[in-house]
Amino acid sequence: MTLIKTFATATLFLTGALVVPALADTARSAKAEAPAAVANDEKPDNIFELLFGVKGKPNTVTAEKFDTSAPKGGPGATLRGRISAHAKAAGLPAELAEAVIRHESRFNPRARGRHGEIGLMQIKPQTARGLGYTGTAAGLYDVETNLKWGMAYLAGAYKLAGGDTCGTILRYNAGHGATRMNRTSRAYCSEVTTYVASL
């Protein structure tokens, strides 16, 4: 029994003697190959630099890259043209339509609301279907599709309100059957009228 214990102890000692230097060599090698920011104990600027040892950030796509003519807070010339064309076809003032889109999505066609609203005009699939839309919910992310059905709903609100801006906003926001302004609709209307006046 003593012989077995002695043999086991000797084996563990020899294994440790071989493994520890090997681990040390591996650690030295890893440190030598590490990115400079890590080897010099400097804090990397971001996770991209930490992982790849390359200064800077990975390429990102921003809204400005899609339409460089877009002024701060407004749509680009191309989108403004599409908004105007759809508003005219629906019998709406283009400025009102643009102001509503600004409030609803900040001109982001990929916007998604908390209650299922989709796209530029934040129209719900069930609302669009009530107007005759037969496509999928995802189809409402398409700019032309969203503008067509969103403008149709806005035009209904506009007609029910007799062309009154705040009445239109109330019915677009709270439903065509809404008749009483609330704090949310008043704030929405104030934002819309201020934006229209700035155009």
Report if residue 150 sits inside a domain. yes
* 46/87 same-domain check: no
Q: Average per-residue pLDDT in the chain?
A: 76
pLDDT digits (tens, 9 = 90+) for 128-159: 999 999 999 999 999 999 999 999 999 999 99
Cα–Cα nearest to 172, from 118, 183, 159: 159
Count of domains observed in the chain: 2
Which residues contact residue 8 at a Cβ distance below 8 angstroms, ignoring those fewer than 6 apart?
Answer: none
Q: Which residues of the chain have pLDDT under 50?
A: 3-8, 10-24, 26-72
Cα distance between the two ends of the chain: 96
Report if residue 156 sits inside a domain. yes
* 95/25 same-domain check: no
* 188/103 same-domain check: yes
* 75/43 same-domain check: no
Amino acid 56: pLDDT: 38
Report if residue 61 sits inside a domain. no
Cα–Cα nearest to 141, from 159, 156, 160, 122: 122
Report if residue 65 sits inside a domain. no
Amino acid 77: pLDDT: 81
Q: Which helix (H) or strand (E) holds 158?
A: helix 143-160
Report if residue 165 sits inside a domain. yes
Residue-range definition of the domain harbouring residue 43:
2-52
